[in-house]
Chains A and B, each alone.
Chain A
Amino acid sequence: MIKLILKKIVNILPTLLGISVLAFLLIRLVPGDPIMLLLGERGADPQVYAEMKASLGLDKPLFQQYFSFLGNLLHGDLGNSIVSKRSVMEEFMDRFPATLELGIVAMTFAVILGIPFGILAAVKRNSIFDYSLMGTSLVGYSMPIFWWGLMLIILFSVKLGWTPVSGRIAVEFEIERHTGLLLIDSWLSEEGGKDAFLSAFSHLILPAIAMGTIPLAVVARMTRSSMLEVLGEDYIRTARAKGLPYFIVVAKHALRNALVPIITVLGLLFGSIVTGAILTEMIFSWPGIGKWMVASINARDYPVIQGGVIMIAMMVIFINTIVDLIYLWANPRMRQ
């Protein structure tokens, strides 16, 4: 197993290197002069132009540029944002908890509803429940979430007035930052207490539903098909023949074996969660990584785009590797 882990790590190194080259070339592939694009009219001043060029590191030969870029990267230095002048790494760390919190709640929503729905559909195969659930999940799977988010706002915030339209928490609460996850921080804060927690929760619920809808549909479908496969196995018949109640057989024998592919799918959903985060955060003005990336692309803040791409790609690769390893750990047959 240790040999396998090492092999996996060696395998992802070229990919990481490729990502760094891709991110590095990004600003250099822009047609025309990126500095003039960034500075606009101010670029006419040769001194301002030269300063900008030097600060982006574009004044040296290409190879030298890449190696100093890579060197900085290995020290965790992603350069400074052009707009805010702050370090890209700091900005990333400021916003990451917001996206993480949204992602965790969205996935929890998908899992705690998706798995029971999938099991029920498999157990009651070909019933009305099964058909309507599979139909609904196909609709959920095809959902353009940027529209779904807007429809949720129209219904729950505008028409019913149940939830706030945007942001993470009502402005009157000033929450001391411990973890960056507002649900926890507001719970811990002394003045706000329960009200602050409820405010944070009511801000979170719609974005989490919008973002969790596609994962929910995928998890429900995957659970159903995985359960159906397992329920047809001989050992299920044996367990039933022993006289075990159907509920125990489903919950203990079948579910445990059906879970392996579901876990794999959850891991692979991570990429689509980032995609979901970008769109969801734009709709609900959620101050996370996705909104930050889109804003920097509109502002042509290239160091931020570079840094964001590298950080997100590294997370995706890391999670995929972990999922691979879990899969191999759970299925000794696949190790070879």
Chain B
Amino acid sequence: MSDSAGQNTQTIILSELKGETPWREFWHSFCQNKGALIGLVVMTLFVIVGIFAPLLSPHNPTELFAEALRLPPAFMEGGQWRYALGSDDVGRDILSRLIHGTSLSLGIGLMVVTVSLFSGTLLGLLAGYFEGFLDRSIMRLTDILMALPSTLLAIVVVSVLGPGLVNAVWAVSIVAIPNYVRLVRALVLTEKKRQYVMAARSFGSGHWRTMLIEILPNCLAPIIVQATLGLSEGILNAAALGFLGLGAQPPTPEWGTMLADARPFMESAPWMVTFPGLCILLVVLGLNLLGDGLRDALDPRLKR
């Protein structure tokens, strides 16, 4: 333990001698993790595909081609390169739908993270900073939300709001809030005992300033890691809702919804089931790899 701490101090001193910025130091240790690099590459590709979806997709995702009903992918017997990953039961091009689904899923994930990150961080800050009654009430609320398994809670919220893409985003966001509340609260509880907080307070810094400008930046690393993992969880949960028919509605090219549509054709057209799920798996896997890599690179306590 003391050895590794000594080594860490040594690396930090060395890196300062070399004039390395914290950013370059982070990048250096991030690059040593092969899994994290793979995750980064996968996610960069998905983001590019998502942003340039209208340019990249060969067809309109909702256009019906009457001459191409349930065509197999091009590499299988009977497939055509015009429909590289095959077509679905009403003759839509699967590749184009997957490409448009990329921007949709990434968008859903980003919205979920934005909503849950902001509200969760705020609640966690308040709970950890003020403690007392406010803390107890906030923590009881998160206990209640945590007692319900995430998918169940999400479908309950959707059952109140009604099915649909926007409501599914709200549901998945609400489900994710307790994670951030608990994390931020725990971080604030340790940070606020530090001397720099006392110093700031004695210089007359107000509660909000102390919370947002002094304490919060020191808690950012674990929050960023949680947000990356939250992104993958959000995408997965939203796809699950779509699969259950409670999220995005057909003909929206959302991956989970596509899977639900493809289910009846599982035997005759297995490619309709294979590709949307593979996309979900790749995105979630990429984000998990990225999250693990960020955690190792950002949190010096975990460095080996």
Complex formed: what's the CA distance from A14 to B284 in Å?
36
Partner of A158, one of B149, B161, B243, B267: B267
Q: How far is the CB of B157 from chain A (nearest CB, A)?
A: 9
Partner of B236, one of A15, A18, A144, A300: A144
Task: List A1-33 residues whose CB lies under 8 Å from chain B.
Answer: 14-15, 18-19, 22, 26, 29-31
Q: How far is the CB of B235 from chain A (nearest CB, A)?
A: 9
Question: Which A residue sits closest to B263, measured CB to CB?
Answer: A150
Q: Is B43 an interface residue (CB 8 A)?
A: no
Q: Are A153 and B266 in contact (CB under 8 A)?
A: yes
Q: Are A138 and B148 in contact (CB under 8 A)?
A: no
Q: Is A278 an interface residue (CB 8 A)?
A: yes
The residues of A that contact B273 with a CB separation of less than 8 Å are 147, 150-151, 154
Complex formed: what's the CA distance from A26 to B266 in Å?
36
For B, the interface residue count at a CB cutoff of 8 angstroms equals 44
Complex formed: what's the CA distance from A334 to B278 in Å?
43
Q: Are A300 and B159 in contact (CB under 8 A)?
A: yes
Q: Are B152 and A312 in contact (CB under 8 A)?
A: yes
Partner of A144, one of B35, B158, B270, B277: B277
Q: Are A19 and B144 in contact (CB under 8 A)?
A: yes
Q: Are B259 and A15 in contact (CB under 8 A)?
A: no
Q: Are B156 and A26 in contact (CB under 8 A)?
A: yes
Chain A 286-329 per-residue mask, 1 if CB under 8 angstroms from chain B, else 0: 00000001100110100001000100110011001000000000
Q: Which of A92-100, A104-112, A172-180, A267-275 forms contacts with chain B?
A: A267-275
Answer whether A146 and B256 are a contact pair too, CB < 8 Å, given A271-B149, A274-B152.
yes
Q: Are B280 and A144 in contact (CB under 8 A)?
A: yes
Q: Is B246 an interface residue (CB 8 A)?
A: yes
The residues of A that contact B263 with a CB separation of less than 8 Å are 150
Answer whether A312 and B144 are a contact pair too, CB < 8 Å, given A138-B289, A143-B281.
no
Task: List B159-176 residues whose CB lies under 8 Å from chain A.
Answer: 159-162
The residues of A that contact B148 with a CB separation of less than 8 Å are 19, 309, 312-313, 316
Complex formed: what's the CA distance from A312 to B152 in Å?
9
Complex formed: what's the CA distance from A147 to B244 in Å?
12
Q: Is A142 an interface residue (CB 8 A)?
A: yes
Q: Are A316 and B149 in contact (CB under 8 A)?
A: yes
Task: List B123-176 residues whose CB lies under 8 Å from chain A.
Answer: 140-141, 143-144, 146-152, 155-156, 158-162
Q: Are B270 and A275 in contact (CB under 8 A)?
A: no
The residues of A that contact B243 with a CB separation of less than 8 Å are 146, 279, 282
Interface of chain A, main secondary structure: helix
Q: Are B245 and A298 in contact (CB under 8 A)?
A: yes
Q: Is B288 an interface residue (CB 8 A)?
A: yes
Q: Are A139 and B147 in contact (CB under 8 A)?
A: no
Q: Is B240 an interface residue (CB 8 A)?
A: yes
Complex formed: what's the CA distance from A158 to B289 in Å?
33
Q: Are B144 and A22 in contact (CB under 8 A)?
A: yes
Q: Are A305 and B159 in contact (CB under 8 A)?
A: yes
Complex formed: what's the CA distance from A12 to B239 in Å?
32
Task: List A233-289 residues whose CB lies under 8 Å from chain B.
Answer: 271-275, 278-279, 282
Q: Are A294 and B244 in contact (CB under 8 A)?
A: yes
Answer whether A144 and B150 are a contact pair too, CB < 8 Å, given A154-B266, A158-B267.
no
Q: Is B32 an interface residue (CB 8 A)?
A: no
The residues of B that contact A309 with a CB separation of less than 8 Å are 148, 152, 156
The residues of B that contact A320 with a CB separation of less than 8 Å are 147
Q: Is A49 an interface residue (CB 8 A)?
A: no
Task: List B246-281 residues whose CB lies under 8 Å from chain A.
Answer: 246, 256, 259, 263, 266-267, 270, 273-274, 276-278, 280-281
Q: Is B285 an interface residue (CB 8 A)?
A: yes
The residues of B that contact A14 with a CB separation of less than 8 Å are 140, 143
Q: Is A141 an interface residue (CB 8 A)?
A: yes
Q: Are A151 and B277 in contact (CB under 8 A)?
A: yes
Q: How far is the CB of A36 from chain B (nearest CB, A)?
A: 14
Q: Are A15 and B147 in contact (CB under 8 A)?
A: yes
Answer whether A158 and B266 are a contact pair too, CB < 8 Å, given A18-B144, A142-B285.
yes
Q: Are A29 and B284 in contact (CB under 8 A)?
A: no
The residues of A that contact B240 with a CB separation of less than 8 Å are 144, 146, 279
The residues of B that contact A279 with a CB separation of less than 8 Å are 151, 240, 243-244
Q: How far is the CB of A152 from chain B (nearest CB, A)?
A: 11
Between B148, B149, B256, the greatest number of chain A beta carbons within 10 A of the residue's beta carbon is seen for B149
Residues of B within 8 A of A (CB): 35, 140-141, 143-144, 146-152, 155-156, 158-162, 232, 236, 239-240, 243-246, 256, 259, 263, 266-267, 270, 273-274, 276-278, 280-281, 284-285, 288-289
Cross-chain pairs A/B with CB under 8 angstroms, 9 sampled: A19-B147, A138-B288, A144-B280, A147-B276, A151-B277, A154-B266, A278-B149, A278-B155, A312-B148
Known: A271-B149, A316-B149. 18 other contacts (CB 8 A): A19-B147, A22-B144, A30-B160, A31-B161, A138-B35, A138-B289, A144-B240, A147-B259, A147-B276, A151-B273, A158-B266, A158-B267, A274-B149, A275-B152, A279-B151, A279-B243, A297-B155, A297-B156
